[in-house]
Structure 1
Amino acid sequence: MTHFIRLIAILGLALTAFAMTGAAQAEGYGKQKVVYHINYDGGEGNKAYKGAMRNIQNHINAVGAENMEIKVVMHGNGLGLLAAAKGDDTMKTTVASLKGQNVAFHVCNNTLKGRNIDYSNDLYDVWEDDIVPSGVAELSKLQQQGFTYIKP
């Protein structure tokens, strides 16, 4: 099922990329580096998480994936996004599609340890390379590197 979801996400990405070719240049947005900060609960039906991912996709659609460097930093309750995706095929597809457009999802190690979360079993599609020592320190580091901060 996971391979099927990824295949659908990749096909969707290809269609989106084809439709959006040159969109960023037409709109004059240029290249952008952005960090999205998620540290909140998703709410009923994971509405807040789905809204955040929709914001990210809309941002990509406006600027073009080829003109974006996007990182999503999650800590505290924000790890609920990837926990919820573990059991929700729609969220899995959305996360996979965003990753297919080079969106990086960073997970706070402090939260993993503090809440006894096993990233390989409890979260969707998280690898060792996705883990950062501290979510808040990562946010600061990325802003120092010129990333624009957005909290959807």
Structure 2
Amino acid sequence: MTNRRRAVVALACFATLVLAPGTALAQNAKPADKPFAEHHLALQLSDSDPKKEGLVISVAYNLLKYYGPDKVAIEVVTFGPGIDLLKADNANRKLVDSLVAQGVRFDICGNTLDTIARETGQRLAVNPNAIEVEAGVAQLLSLAESGYTIVRP
């Protein structure tokens, strides 16, 4: 094997180790839409409770105010009854849309949506700013493994 070929193989092995899921570099990766964020927070919402919805919204607004929208990455992950926050007709729709405009991401659990569709025969109308993820809990796990702090207000 030539020296050049050895160098390429060594570089490929190094990149595989450094960028593999679970390594320090992968865990500290910045989200593409918030490259300068110094703080990463995932807010879990799994209850259908207007007070908890309000608390999640309040926490997100307070963090944006405290750190500034470029310094904090906030992702709200909803699943189970918590997806009520992201229904198209939710009373907090304007607040959610305002947070989205400031860079907050709102995830909605696809498994929950599929279950509701099977039970009711129709797909739930959701906020168009909601981002469907395959599984809300899996999204939280992935975020935690990427260095996000998970908070359940």
Question: Structure 2 CA distance, aligned partners of 1:68 and 1:124?
Answer: 23
Q: Which of 64, 68, 81 is residue 77 of structure 1 equivalent to?
A: 81
Report what 1:131 is aligned to.
132
Correspondence 1:37 to 2:38:
no
Deviation at 1:39, TM superposition (A): 0.4
Between the aligned partners of 2:90 and 2:43, the Cα distance in structure 1 is 23
* 1:60 positional shift: 1.1
- Secondary structure in structure 2 of the residue aligned to 1:86: coil
1:66 aligns with 2:70: yes
> Any idea what the Cα deviations from partners look like across 1:60-93, whole Å, max 9, x if unmatched?
111111101111110001101112x6252xx122
| CA distance, structure 1, for counterparts of residue 111 and residue 150 of structure 2 | 21
Q: Report the secondary structure of 1:80's partner residue.
A: helix
Question: What is the alpha-carbon distance in structure 2 between the residues aligned to residue 92 and residue 118 of structure 1?
Answer: 19
Residues 105 and 133 of structure 1: CA distance in aligned 2, closer, same or farther (over 3 Å): same
Secondary structure of 2:53's counterpart equals: helix
How many Å apart are 1:47 and its aligned residue? 2.2
**Cα distance between partner residues in 2 of 1:51 and 1:149:** 15
Shift of 1:118: 2.1
- Structure with greater contact order relative to length (CA < 8 Å, sep ≥ 6): 1
Give runs of ≥4 in structure 1 deviating > 3 Å: none
Q: Does 1:115 align with 2:86?
A: no
1:106 matched residue in structure 2? 107
CA distance in 1, matches of 2:97, 2:129: 11
TM-score by length of 1: 0.69
CA distance in 1, matches of 2:102, 2:80: 25
Counterpart of 1:57 in structure 2: which amino acid? Y
Kindly state the Cα deviation for residue 134 of structure 1 after the two structures are TM-superposed.
Answer: 0.6
Q: Which amino acid aligns with 2:102?
A: Q
So what's the TM-score if we normalise by structure 2? 0.68
- The two structures, once aligned, show a CA RMSD in angstroms of 1.7
Contact 2:45/2:76 (CA < 8 Å) preserved in 1? yes
Which SS does the other structure have where 1:52 is aligned? helix
Structure 2 unaligned spans of 5+: 1-36
Amino acid at match of 2:108: V
